[in-house]
Amino acid sequence: MSDYPFIEKQDPEVFEALEGEEKREAEGIELIPSENYVSKAVREANSSILTNKYSEGYPGKRYYGGQQFTDMVETLAIERAKQLFGAKYANVQPLGGANANIAMYFALLEPGDTILGMDLSHGGHLTHGHPVTYLTKIFKFVRYKMKNPDTGEIDYDEMRKVALEAKPKIVLAGFSAYPRELDYAKFVKIAREVGAYSVMDVAHIAGLIAGKAVKNPFDFGFDVMTTTTHKTLRGPRGGMILTRESDEIGKKMDKMVFPGLQGGPHMNNIAAKAVAFKEAQTPAFQKYAAQVLKNAKAMAEVFKKRGVRLLTGGTDNHLILADVFGSLGVTGKDAETLLDQAGITLNKNSIADDSRGPMDPSGIRFGTPAVTTRKFTETECARVAELMVDSLEKKDDTSVQKSIREEIRQLCVKFPIPDSHV
């Protein structure tokens, strides 16, 4: 029987799309580092009856009646989030990572204030001041970047110099495409020296922090963390704001998320966050997080061995950035299309100081959160990496491409997407 018996009966068009996506996810290898497979328990919560309920406000302080159960669920999500990240305060209502960042900026800044963030071509996110976002009309963004893209070391001296000159109100750490750990103590020191808030956007690595596979920025004195809940953390799509101390910063965040920027929270989604956070508290999740790192290292080793240049020379987290144009003469866009045909999904990505444009850059970005959920170990990950380089090296050989597609299909059959993560 299908997972969607009611949709199947009453809405064949939507049913077709859902069934198609079920099959696509089952039969392909997902290497986009911001994607994952949630458990059936998370999906049950996300499609639950709580979608019916309006609950503007916060537990114990709502605008409408009938909140016995929404209060229960939101309190569970908040307490579990605090426990997972060693935070004193959590707001679980932001609808996504971008929304969490926007609320954080508006809570801490006045229009015209300055933010010091990671250079976008060196791994920063759109919401860290990309000119296409409206944020750049309201705030000023100044930048730090890597001293050397082949080691990944951040230029902390330059960063301090820019901070002293530009006097930012926020020193923002965090990234979408940076494979190394940051020196958190240095960020906090510079932020304190110039009287700025220190904020880490952990959207990509939240699950690795919760699973204790990488360091926790709060242990180094960061004031605030913003995050998504659906990347390595393996929850439903959504966002969250955490603060290290329970002080006026948290109160500002609460006011800004609601009523400052959002309306009624999506309680079904908050229930799903609570379920995912409980999964993330298990020893199984810590094992998962550690395996994500081992798998990424195994893939990086294969690429290096086969002569492909990796930005920062490797990886300490879940993601890898490869200069496929520089090393193999295949553009990022062509690599994305070619590998898609082989059943491997990843994305083209600009690399530091890319000589090519953003629509067809030199690099690809890929990572191991989803395949690790599928129970791949280093063996399978190394094999997939070999197949990726084979495919890129022999892009015109149709029989090679066909046999790669077949091997990928068999791997997917052998490693089905699990229903349960505990």
Ligand X SMILES: *Cc1c(COP(=O)(O)O)cnc(C)c1O
In sequence order, what are the beta bridge partners of 154? Answer: 146
Closer residue to ligand X in complex, CB, 177/330: 177
Q: Are 292 and 212 in contact (CB under 8 A)?
A: no
- Chain residues in the site for ligand X (CB under 6 A): 34, 96-98, 101, 125, 127, 174-176, 201, 203-204, 228, 239
- Write down the least CB distance from residue 414 to ligand X, Å: 30
Closer residue to ligand X in complex, CB, 204/278: 204
| Residue showing the smallest CB distance to ligand X in the complex | 97
Q: Are 273 and 229 in contact (CB under 8 A)?
A: yes
CA 269 to chain centre: 17
Q: How far apart are CA 272 and CA 40, in angstroms?
A: 10
Q: What is the 3-state secondary structure (H, E, C) of 66-119?
A: CCHHHHHHHHHHHHHHHHHHCCCEEECCCCCHHHHHHHHHHHHCCCCCEEEEEC
Could you tell me which residues come within 8 angstroms of residue 243 by beta carbon, excluding any fewer than 6 positions away?
87, 88, 89, 223, 224, 225, 249, 250, 253
Q: DSSP state, 217?
A: G
Closer residue to ligand X in complex, CB, 101/345: 101
- Write down the least CB distance from residue 238 to ligand X, Å: 7
Beta strands in 294-390 (DSSP E): 319-323, 344-345, 347-349, 363-367
Q: Are 405 and 27 in contact (CB under 8 A)?
A: no
Tokens of 163: 């901070």
- Write down the least CB distance from residue 55 to ligand X, Å: 21
3-state helix, strand, coil in the chain (%, to 5): 50, 15, 35
**One-character DSSP codes across 123-173:** T--GGGT-TTSTHHHHSEEEEE-BS-TTT--B-HHHHHHHHHHH--SEEEE
Closer residue to ligand X in complex, CB, 240/388: 240
Tokens of 45: 């919560």
- Write down the least CB distance from residue 138 to ligand X, Å: 17
Query: H/E element holding 63?
Result: none
Residues involved in catalysis: 54, 56, 201, 228, 231, 237
Closer residue to ligand X in complex, CB, 73/200: 200
Tokens of 179: 């494979």
- Write down the least CB distance from residue 32 to ligand X, Å: 11
Q: How far apart are CA 227 and CA 238, in angstroms?
A: 9
Closer residue to ligand X in complex, CB, 233/387: 233
CA angle 28, 29, 30 (to 5 degrees): 115
- Write down the least CB distance from residue 37 to ligand X, Å: 17
Closer residue to ligand X in complex, CB, 67/232: 232
- Write down the least CB distance from residue 124 to ligand X, Å: 8
